[in-house]
Structure 1
């Protein structure tokens, strides 16, 4: 992998973290609306922007040979991930929900072993186990039943994202352009949301609509950026920089929502981020 491609990947992963942190904030500001209804508007905006980008860059609305099933799985698991993540955001502090979603790089390592046949080193396995131990400090099974279920669903969202991003990399290797992957995922997610909205639609105020549209714009920035990031570099090169979203989310939560994470949650953040950083540093040392 060329050095300039690696730095492009780092830039895009940090930009994605910035976009997704703001997405979480606007989703929270949208109030007590169903998570699936929120996700519909988030992805509807992404459909529009993906369509415009594809037209501008003259990208064909056809799936390259060999990439179809990977785009489908990216869309399926990405949809599961976003539904779960939006539910968690509505019930937890946005920093907690963001942290659980950032388990996705660890899930990506696990799934890369099965899907890409990438070997998992012993130190990576130890770091993955450590990260899931850190997640228990946020999940708090048996200690806070009100928060445990949303936190567990938030972790499921991280798993869905990990599977989705693994399939992004495979699809891009088969020649699928980033905007096409974003477009297919966004359309798929909107279609999945429609039946739920028909059954359980809740009217919303203008400020809620404005928040959802801003969430969609922020998510579109994040979606295009993270798709570009995983196109330029593998998850193992980028995972450590993905944790900047936690910093962004925590600051936004404190400034706009008055959400100050407690000591137990912060300890969980440190364990998970520490595992990611250690894994990154050991890998770089082995490469050197």
Structure 2
């Protein structure tokens, strides 16, 4: 890829990340009705091994700057809660529905950047958040007659947890905290948090389920490394919109592997959320041009 422009490399890596995270979601769903804590532990343990090897190779230190520890804890704690909610949603919903609700995280990040970073949102950002949440209502379809509403709300909370976590990541990035160190401590924290709950509620796994979780962890690493490299190659304002290819990958995998067919309301929700995301991308690009 030496002859490619930085932007082209960034687009390639962010699409690779989207594909990796979609495959991670697929294997998490294929693992069946295992507890979310059990799925999350194995997913993060594999990631921990990969990132540990990378840090040794690159001679990256493991100890964060003292001033960054509170933000690193926030990233780890809320990221883990978001992941657990997302895994629960993946197990109960169509793959594309669960992934779409998780894609609300950038809009939650706008909300929490106001609360945590004291940033002032523009009218366009407020409108984008409103449109995105209207889309989420179409997917959730709230009502007592909807048996999947609890899982859909969990998916929404998963997006919220990721949004808070990304807000802390932004602040850590502005303080020059190494991205591999952030990933390492997130994976280690998640494993430590999930381990006692996994032991208490451990459910016997078949060899096939174990293999699925190994693949889930492997493709989570592909996604994490891909998105990290993407934003090294190019700024978010130029490539972030391509992250929505994950919705297409998830829809295709859901259809061909699980026979998932989203209903009309869900499709409307996808259009609203993706439309809001594309609108925000165009707005941010023009504002920083």
Give the TM-score normalised by structure 1.
0.92
Q: What is the alpha-carbon distance in structure 2 between the residues aligned to residue 62 and residue 224 of structure 1?
A: 20
Match of 1:269 in 2: 270
Task: Answer with 45-54 or 258-267: which moved more.
Answer: 258-267
Q: Is the 8 A contact 2:237 2:285 kept in 1?
A: no
User: Mind listing any 5+ residue stretches in structure 2 that lack a counterpart?
Assistant: none
Report how far residue 67 of structure 1 moved. 1.6
Q: Does 1:199 align with 2:223?
A: no
In the alignment, the residues of structure 2 paired with residue 79 and residue 32 of structure 1 have an alpha-carbon distance, to the nearest angstrom, of 19
On the 8 A contact 1:74/1:164 being kept in 2, the answer is: yes
Match of 2:109 in 1: 108
Checking the alignment, whether the CA contact within 8 Å between 2:135 and 2:273 is kept in structure 1 is yes
1:26 aligns with 2:27: yes
Contact 2:89–2:152 (Cα < 8 Å) also in 1: yes
| Deviation string, structure 1 residues 161-191 (Cα, Å, up to 9, x no partner) | 1111221222122222111111100010011
Partner secondary structure for residue 285 of structure 2: helix
Asked if 1:147 is matched to 2:148, the reply is yes
Query: Hey, what does 1:222 align to over in structure 2?
Result: 223
Tell me, in whole angstroms, the C-alpha distance in 1 between the residues paired with 2:145 and 2:12: 38
**Aligned equivalents of 1:70, 1:6: Cα separation in 2:** 30
What's the CA shift for 1:243?
1.1
1:10-159 alignment runs, 5 A limit: 10-142=11-143, 144-159=145-160
Q: Write the mapping of 1:136-285 to structure 2, written as runs, cut at 5 A.
A: 136-142=137-143, 144-229=145-230, 238-285=239-286
Q: Deviations over 1:82-122 (max 9, x none)?
A: 10000000000110000000000111122223333433110
Number of aligned residues: 285
In structure 2, C-alpha distance between the alignment counterparts of 1:7 and 1:78, rounded to whole Å: 29
Report the CA distance shift for 1:234/1:103 in structure 2 as closer, same or farther (over 3 A): farther
Compute the RMSD of aligned alpha carbons: 2.0
Q: Secondary structure at the match of 2:149?
A: helix
Contact map agreement 1:178 1:231 (CA 8 A) in 2: no
CA contact (8 A) 1:67 1:175 kept: no
Q: Distance in 1 between matches of 2:148 and 2:232?
A: 35
Q: 1:243 to 1:76 in 2, by over 3 A?
A: same
* Distance of 2:204 and 2:39 partners within structure 1: 12
| 1:64 and 1:175 in contact (8 A); partners too | no
Other structure's SS at 2:191 match: helix
